A and B are shown apart, each in its own frame.
Chain A
Amino acid sequence: MPSKDKVLVAMSGGVDSSVALLEILEAGYDAIGITMKLWEYRDVGGNLLEDSNCCSVGAINNAKLVCDRMGAPHYTLDFTGVFRETVVDNFADEYLAGRTPNPCVRCNSFVKWDAFIEQADQLGATYIATGHYARIIQTRNEYHLAKGKDSLKDQAYVLWGIPSETLRRTLLPLGDYTKEDVRNIARKHKLETAETPESMEICFVADNNYKRFLKNYVPQEMEAIGEGEIVENSREVVGSHSGYTNYTIGQRKGLGLSNPEPRYVSKIDPESNRIYVGKKESLYDQSCRVTQVNWLVESPCFPLQVHAQIRYNSTEVPAIISQDGDTLTVQFDTPQLSITPGQSIVFYMDDRVLGGGIIELNSWK
């Protein structure tokens, strides 16, 4: 009998990765389950769901149980050091810089895929697999990342930063399923993880209270940020705020302003601890600058016509990309609301992800 290809399956202990493992085994591969321990909750607290959160002992036990039932070996690997340095420190730095980070993107880009491929090499595995709702499409000898079938759960957006050379070694067995399909498969096979709750929050801020998290994680820096001014029309002071890290672009609530027409946060300046506000129309921009670009296609030509998505769960819109050195300028066909520095912008052609980058503050703002 020819030996089967080995696949390392990333197991978070939730329903998605459990079904991913099942699919990999049913496709005839040899599977090894791996749980990446990324975070120690007791370090910075905030874990309200101790038993089911990713990285908790409960989640690791779930993953072990599912693997054991399917006869796949399971190992837990400690990545807490690299996760803290690459993802969590950056998360805090970005907020302190007045930006709104997307740590899941950074984790996929710099921790999960790299570390996982390296582990696959160590253990002699040909492929890695995860339970993301996205697809890998092969055309001739090229591999493309594409959106998952379930448009509500699609996770292609958070995968734009993975190294392009890993695509040919990546399997995404849930790409053609909806979340409901996945739950039904899990129920049919009576998987222990069939009813695990959906995790919507940032894994290391399990209570979804990032202000509390920052206070615990960078207490000195946070204490140094006092009250600041709320400014309208570039110069007019209209109120005061509790510290710039408590606000994000487009925020309306919590400003304490009593204008008949609502005001929104349009810009955050950490240097002066000022929050700039304006009416809704002031939040629209027709273009943005993009850095830290990663392409998942070979040598794109500019100007490039794409559909661009500026935040998770927003719809993509037509845009044209031009390139100037390492920086891209993205010109949208129609003005976009609350383009937020620090967030990811992802470029699509039909269902395919071409690449993405990080939104920067526009120089004229």
Chain B
Amino acid sequence: MERIYFDISATTPLNPKVGEYMYTLQKEVYGNPSSIHREGQAAHAVMEKSRRQLANVLNCKPDEIIFTSSGTEANNMVLKGILKSGDHLISSSYEHPAILKVLPSLEEWGIEITLVKPNSSGQITVQAIESALQDNTRLISIMQVNNELGCINPLQEIGEFAHSHNILCHSDAVQALGKIPLDLQRIPVDFLSMSAHKLYGPKGAGALFKREGISLDPLLHGGGQEGNLRASTENLAGIGGFGLAAELAAISLEENTDHINDLENCFLSHLDDLEINYFINGKNRIPGVFNITFPGEDGSSLVMKLDLAGISISFGAACASGTSNASGMLLDMGLSEADARASVRISFGKIHSRKEVKKVIDTIHSLIKHSQLTDAIEG
């Protein structure tokens, strides 16, 4: 069965160019970047090339990029490396678990935490953050783009607000990099977490932007790599792949956005043509990500039925055991429990076609029609 993968927000397939480059690195550049000899120098050059590629994309200095194993690690570095007992953190209730599940440890260390909720459009506003402000607020951490909704937060305003109050600002930008422009000369954040596998790069490669002059305690101690901030022999192929993937995404950002916007139009008009009952959750979204409610349906069943029909979408956020529950975030935004359960995430990207979009909606249409018919028969 030919499958259609509409779960681009969960992860992306590897760009073949990135894959080829990584294979070459694995084969030919085996040196340790810390070594003095030629092999080490060659490896070191790959690292620095990648760092520059990422810095160019973000409009920051290469030395402000620290390579990590993941976005999760980058988030942990900031939260655990900055906050001390007695500090206050403002974050949001709809952060990824890579933030939310770190918080219990912070609380144990004596750190105060306030989580602000998204408004009904799915955004965290500066007003909401302001109302959570305390004298001891040390850090504000708000994701750039929400993973379940695709909604974009006003990061520039949030960063400006933080700085005007002498507070550090971090953003989990894992869902944003490669999808929308991120200019760190314009957006005044101090830290930004990123991951390669969301932009057609490899899994196991992430990065943290740390603005020059800000000090941070490392999580990992050891060989002094990454400016003493992230000990471990570098994942050279992963890092090389990350740099190239970020560069390729940036080069074709406009073209991809146009293409995905065209798919979005096709998606919405086809839903309307088939008179499917639906609504979209959240406003100001990145292209290609829909948190969509089909009233009366069971979201998790729809995900399974589509999977059996060869189409991959998601319900809630994926977790290790593969179970999922109605999203608390949707309830926070004002949806009923039933509508929250009837919601799924559909995300597509540059690799998809109008034909695939139509096929997905046709399949959803037939599955929904079938379940409505069964309901009618069973009365």
Chain A residues with CB under 8 Å of chain B are 32, 37, 57, 60, 64, 73, 75-78, 119, 121-124
CB–CB B301/A123 < 8 A: yes
Which are the 6 A-B pairs with shortest beta-carbon distances? A78-B323, A76-B322, A122-B301, A76-B323, A37-B323, A60-B321
Chain A residues contacting B298 (CB-CB under 8 Å) are 122
Indicate whether A121 sits within 8 Å of B321 (C-beta atoms), given known contacts A73-B307, A73-B308, A77-B300.
no
Chain B residues contacting A124 (CB-CB under 8 Å) are 305, 370
CB–CB B322/A75 < 8 A: yes
Cross-interface CB contact of A78 among B304, B320, B324, B374, cutoff 8 Å: B324
CA distance A65 to B308 in the complex (A): 18
Chain B residues contacting A73 (CB-CB under 8 Å) are 304, 307-308
Contacts A32-B308, A57-B320, A122-B301 known; list 20 others, CB within 8 Å. Answer: A37-B321, A57-B321, A60-B321, A60-B322, A64-B322, A73-B304, A73-B308, A75-B304, A75-B307, A76-B322, A76-B323, A77-B323, A78-B323, A78-B325, A119-B301, A122-B298, A122-B305, A123-B305, A124-B305, A124-B370
Chain B residues contacting A76 (CB-CB under 8 Å) are 321-323
Chain A residues contacting B301 (CB-CB under 8 Å) are 119, 122-123
Interface residues of B in 133-159 (CB under 8 A from A): none
Chain A residues contacting B307 (CB-CB under 8 Å) are 73, 75
CA distance A97 to B324 in the complex (A): 35
CA distance A155 to B320 in the complex (A): 32
CA distance A75 to B323 in the complex (A): 8
Closest-CB distance, B287 to chain A (whole angstroms): 30
CB–CB B323/A123 < 8 A: no
Chain B residues contacting A37 (CB-CB under 8 Å) are 321, 323
Determine chain A's interface SS by DSSP, over half rule. Answer: mixed
Give the nearest-CB partner of B320 in chain A: A57
Interface residues of B in 143-189 (CB under 8 A from A): none
Chain B residues contacting A77 (CB-CB under 8 Å) are 300, 323
Closest-CB distance, B370 to chain A (whole angstroms): 8
Interface residues of B in 292-336 (CB under 8 A from A): 298, 300-301, 304-305, 307-308, 320-325
Closest-CB distance, B112 to chain A (whole angstroms): 25
CA distance A75 to B306 in the complex (A): 13
Chain B residues contacting A119 (CB-CB under 8 Å) are 301
Closest-CB distance, A13 to chain B (whole angstroms): 11
Closest-CB distance, A70 to chain B (whole angstroms): 16
Number of B interface residues at 8 Å Cβ cutoff, please give it: 16
CA distance A78 to B298 in the complex (A): 13
Chain A residues contacting B370 (CB-CB under 8 Å) are 124
Chain A residues contacting B371 (CB-CB under 8 Å) are 122
CA distance A24 to B301 in the complex (A): 22
CA distance A32 to B304 in the complex (A): 10
Highest count of chain A CB atoms <10 Å: which of B298, B301, B321, B324:
B321
CA distance A350 to B308 in the complex (A): 42
Cross-interface CB contact of B304 among A57, A60, A123, cutoff 8 Å: A123
CA distance A360 to B370 in the complex (A): 46
CA distance A37 to B321 in the complex (A): 9
CA distance A78 to B301 in the complex (A): 12
Give the nearest-CB partner of B300 in chain A: A77
Closest-CB distance, B176 to chain A (whole angstroms): 30
CA distance A204 to B145 in the complex (A): 39
CA distance A121 to B304 in the complex (A): 13
Of the A-B pairs whose beta carbons lie under 8 Å apart in the complex, a sample of 21, sorted by A's number, is A32-B308, A37-B321, A37-B323, A57-B320, A57-B321, A60-B321, A64-B322, A75-B304, A75-B307, A75-B322, A76-B322, A77-B300, A77-B323, A78-B323, A78-B324, A78-B325, A119-B301, A122-B304, A122-B371, A123-B301, A123-B308
Highest count of chain B CB atoms <10 Å: which of A32, A75, A119:
A75
Closest-CB distance, A354 to chain B (whole angstroms): 30
Chain B residues contacting A121 (CB-CB under 8 Å) are 374
CA distance A73 to B322 in the complex (A): 13
Highest count of chain A CB atoms <10 Å: which of B307, B308, B370:
B308
CA distance A122 to B367 in the complex (A): 10
Closest-CB distance, A332 to chain B (whole angstroms): 44
CA distance A77 to B315 in the complex (A): 12
Chain A residues contacting B305 (CB-CB under 8 Å) are 122-124
Per-residue A-contact encoding for B272-308, CB less than 8 Å = 1, 0 else: 0000000000000000000000000010110011011
Chain A residues contacting B304 (CB-CB under 8 Å) are 73, 75, 122-123
CA distance A64 to B322 in the complex (A): 10
Chain A residues contacting B321 (CB-CB under 8 Å) are 37, 57, 60, 76
Give the nearest-CB partner of A30 in chain B: B308
Chain B residues contacting A64 (CB-CB under 8 Å) are 322
CA distance A75 to B307 in the complex (A): 10
Closest-CB distance, A117 to chain B (whole angstroms): 13
Chain B residues contacting A78 (CB-CB under 8 Å) are 323-325
Chain A residues contacting B300 (CB-CB under 8 Å) are 77
Closest-CB distance, B299 to chain A (whole angstroms): 11
Closest-CB distance, B23 to chain A (whole angstroms): 26
CA distance A73 to B371 in the complex (A): 21
Interface residues of B in 79-132 (CB under 8 A from A): none
CA distance A15 to B298 in the complex (A): 31
Chain B residues contacting A60 (CB-CB under 8 Å) are 321-322
Closest-CB distance, A1 to chain B (whole angstroms): 14
Highest count of chain A CB atoms <10 Å: which of B298, B307, B322, B371:
B322
Closest-CB distance, A65 to chain B (whole angstroms): 12
CA distance A346 to B64 in the complex (A): 71
Per-residue A-contact encoding for B348-379, CB less than 8 Å = 1, 0 else: 00000000000000000000001100100000
Give the nearest-CB partner of A119 in chain B: B301
Chain A residues contacting B322 (CB-CB under 8 Å) are 60, 64, 75-76
Give the nearest-CB partner of B302 in chain A: A122
Chain B residues contacting A123 (CB-CB under 8 Å) are 301, 304-305, 308
CA distance A290 to B342 in the complex (A): 42
Give the nearest-CB partner of B324 in chain A: A78
Closest-CB distance, B322 to chain A (whole angstroms): 4
Chain A residues contacting B323 (CB-CB under 8 Å) are 37, 76-78
CA distance A60 to B321 in the complex (A): 7
